[in-house]
Chains A and B, each alone.
Chain A
Amino acid sequence: DTGVSQDPRHKITKRGQNVTFRCDPISEHNRLYWYRQTLGQGPEFLTYFQNEAQLEKSRLLSDRFSAERPKGSFSTLEIQRTEQGDSAMYLCASSHRGPYEKLFFGSGTQLSVL
């Protein structure tokens, strides 16, 4: 499968623990996005990378969230001191050009905070 891949598919953690998710975009895509989706809602934008530069961050992204894309390839999203409200599906997407281009989504990481 040459699409966007995310790991892990599911993560169960206890409140207060740190978690990290990984996203591997389509290889020729230099733009990478993270979204979060809760039950009954559409995806909400979290952050955007162009190559290794993080160019946009949502106000939804608290200080406990950090994202990196160190070499402009894969990206990680870390949540520190998880809270029950962090429980959601975390989606990664990539695109070849700008925001008007087609976004290719991964299958997501489902996080459950107990």
Chain B
Amino acid sequence: AQRVTQPEKLLSVFKGAPVELKCNYSYSGSPELFWYVQYSRQRLQLLLRHISRESIKGFTADLNKGETSFHLKKPFAQEEDSAMYYCALSGSGAGSYQLTFGKGTKLSVIP
């Protein structure tokens, strides 16, 4: 069974401080990992995915297979980063069309 754990329900940081949103996963195969974000009154949208090795809005995430983690990081938080962040996993096996989401972490950036 695949599982995603986001240990923090709420994370508050000051503007300009570094941010790290934690994500740990459980999956027996080779997963693909994603971060989705939901800003206030907006739809859930993709922030970044491991397969693309991209950096979006200053955020990066590194897959650590040894620690089964995919933490989201940003060196300097901005007020507009305040949102709900969800880590998600997709299995790599045949027919694995579903994303398994964590419970989410609410990031609050204090001005």
Residues of chain A touching chain B, judged by Cβ–Cβ distance below 8 Å, are: 3-4, 31, 33, 40-45, 48, 55-56, 58, 91, 98-100, 102-108
Contacts and interface: CB of A to CB of B under 8 A. Distances in A.
Contact of B51 (A31, A100, A106): A100
Contact of A42 (B43, B45, B46, B104): B104
A45 B97 CA distance: 9
B86 A103 contact: no
By secondary structure, the A interface counts as: loop
B101 A43 contact: yes
B94 to A, nearest CB: 11
Interface string B45-88: 11001010000000000000000000000000000000000101
A100 B53 CA distance: 13
A40 B103 contact: yes
Contacts of B97: 31, 33, 48, 55-56, 98-99
8 contacts: A3-B43, A42-B4, A42-B101, A42-B103, A55-B95, A58-B98, A99-B32, A100-B49
B26 to A, nearest CB: 15
Contacts of A43: 44, 86, 99, 101
Closest 10 CB pairs of A and B: A42-B101, A45-B98, A105-B44, A48-B97, A102-B46, A99-B90, A99-B97, A105-B43, A43-B101, A56-B97
Residue of B4, B44, B90 contacting most chain A CB atoms (<10 Å):
B44
B40 interface: no
A54 B103 CA distance: 26
Contact of B45 (A40, A48, A105): A105
A74 to B, nearest CB: 18
B99 A103 contact: yes
A107 B41 CA distance: 9
B96 interface: yes
B38 to A, nearest CB: 9
Contacts of A41: 103-104
B103 to A, nearest CB: 5
